[in-house]
Homo-oligomer: A and B are copies of this chain.
């Protein structure tokens, strides 16, 4: 039973309750509705559980708060939406202290403030493990809405940054890998203080040449497979741009850097499918605006399934549901 199987079954149960103001329901990074004719709002939710998504050995509670907000904002980024507000439902074990809760909230507030996100409400309750469920609402211009489903064969697939840094950070935080200090710092920052690609997402969504977009939070192969399924295409992966820290950790383990980066989750980069003839121009504008490469990773093609060259590629990313 994979996460996607369960989601498909849930979709069947809840589908009949869909309303006309809902423009996009279950299955994308965020759902969309229409509060008034000229506006689209986007909503998304993510749950972070201590022991599943983070441990205090690998990050502070401030980091965990930041990361929970980052995961949610990344879903808004993937819709090209501007963050507006968030609610926070917090399950708190009896042994958690007041200072623990304040640390969590300081981490959440730090990223929220930077992103222009207001934390407007929530719920506090007892739970056996520290559990954060955040819901974020954003706004997107109707003409900019970019889902997972608009990709077409021959579109170029690209990502907004190198992958695997968060996975490398986890290895460093657990003491499973030792890197040079600057690389170690970069890896730990990618794990603990990821930066959702909000400005990049808004820029890409505004381009008519970007036909599909999603965030890369469960690993490139898993997420690309979802983009392909939604777009009714297959894909050929040509390159996996591994972050320097991912490359370094992979090398110390004798693994291929590409495979290490492919399976890493929580990178919070965006994946886009771009009309082929516009890719060069778009990538140049992206570089000029953000000082970062829009990295080509492959192409969409007719048919179904993910290929590495001509070899079928299994999903190797993080399935929150079948894992554990």
Contact = CB atoms under 8 A, between A and B. Distances in A.
Interface in A99-124: 101-102, 105-106, 108-109, 112-113, 116-124
A227 to B, nearest CB: 17
A14 interface: yes
A121 B40 CA distance: 16
A106 B253 CA distance: 47
A288 interface: no
A38 interface: yes
Contact of A9 (B17, B44, B102): B102
A112 B17 contact: yes
Contacts of A108: 14
A68 to B, nearest CB: 11
A19 B27 CA distance: 29
A14 B105 contact: yes
Interface stretch (A83-91, A189-197, A272-280, A289-297): A83-91
Contact of A45 (B28, B101, B133): B133
Interface stretch (A29-37, A157-165, A198-206, A208-216): A29-37
A318 B156 CA distance: 56
A308 interface: no
Nearest to A126: B324
Interface in A124-161: 124-129, 131, 133, 135, 137, 139
B51 A128 contact: yes
A18 interface: yes
A182 interface: no
A45 B320 CA distance: 22
A129 B33 CA distance: 32
A22 B265 CA distance: 33
16 contacts: A9-B101, A10-B102, A10-B122, A16-B109, A18-B118, A24-B120, A31-B87, A45-B89, A45-B122, A49-B127, A52-B127, A92-B321, A124-B320, A125-B320, A133-B135, A137-B137
Interface of A: 1, 3, 6-7, 9-10, 13-14, 16-19, 21-22, 24-28, 30-31, 33, 35-36, 38-39, 41, 43-47, 49, 51-53, 84-85, 87-92, 94, 98, 101-102, 105-106, 108-109, 112-113, 116-129, 131, 133, 135, 137, 139, 320-321, 323-324
Given A10-B105, A47-B91, 8 more contacts: A35-B139, A45-B121, A45-B135, A47-B89, A47-B125, A53-B125, A124-B321, A131-B131
